[in-house]
């Protein structure tokens, strides 16, 4: 399962790269709210994230790179849980996304410090002017799971 997801992410990246050759560029801040689920949700409440995002692509496909800082407040120690203090996680993600009308769908291959996990994040956004409003899910491959609601503002010609 894990290998299939990684191969799918790699294949979509390879397909997207030629479309990016003659493309537009955007960059800017990304902010959002993270709602913890699974075992992470047993010990932590709602979190937040802030970071930067770089997008390069055409009207159909684009590549997105982002760096985020995710903060989670410790709520309660659950017996047998590995979590016992506030959790602050850096995330580094790269991946393709494709346009379907005003919507964009894609996935980020990302690494998260502190929880020391690599994951694939499905993402979906709607673009309104230079603003991307979206949802994402971290937890397909590893145990630290959260659902995010995000907003990004892009400067540049994207």
pLDDT given for residue 121 in this prediction: 94
When pLDDT is averaged across residues 92-105 and rounded to a whole number, the result is 94
Digit-coded pLDDT (tens) for 75-84:
765 555 555 5
* pLDDT at res. 119: 94
Q: Can you give the pLDDT at residue 7? A: 62
Say what the pLDDT of residue 68 is: 97
CATH code where residue 33 lies:
2.40.160
Mean pLDDT (the chain) is: 85
Q: Is the pLDDT of residue 110 over 60?
A: yes
**Rounded Cα gap, residues 100 and 119, in angstroms:** 24
CB 47 within 8 A of CB 33: yes
15-62 pLDDT, tens digit per residue, is: 555 554 568 999 999 999 999 988 777 778 889 999 999 999 987 899
Counted domains in the chain: 1
Question: Looking at residues 81-109, what average pLDDT do you find?
Answer: 88
The whole-number average pLDDT for the span 117-132 is 93
- The pLDDT of residue 45 is 83
Containing structural domain, residue 82: 2-156
Tell whether the model's pLDDT for residue 115 goes beyond 90: no
- Record the pTM: 0.79
Cα gap 146→9, rounded to integer Å:
20
Label residues 43-76 b or e (16+ Cβ within 10 Å = b). Answer: bbeebebebebbbbbeeebbbbebebebebeeee
Distance of CA 31 to the CA centre of its chain: 11
């Amino acid at each position: 399962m894990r290998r299939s997801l990684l191969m799918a992410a790699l294949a979509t990246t390879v397909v997207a790269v030629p479309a990016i050759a003659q493309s537009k560029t955007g960059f800017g801040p990304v902010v959002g709210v993270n709602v913890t689920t699974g075992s992470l949700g047993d010990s932590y409440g709602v979190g937040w994230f802030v970071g930067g995002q770089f997008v390069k692509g055409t009207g159909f496909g684009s590549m997105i790179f982002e760096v985020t800082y995710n903060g989670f407040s410790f709520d309660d120690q659950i017996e047998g849980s590995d979590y016992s203090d506030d959790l602050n996680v850096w995330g580094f993600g790269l991946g393709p996304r494709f346009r379907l009308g005003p919507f964009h769908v894609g996935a980020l291959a990302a690494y998260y410090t502190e929880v020391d996990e690599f994951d694939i994040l499905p993402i979906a956004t709607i673009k309104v002017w230079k603003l991307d409003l979206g949802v994402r899910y971290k937890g397909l491959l590893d145990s630290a799971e959260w659902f995010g609601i995000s907003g990004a503002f892009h400067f540049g010609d994207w």
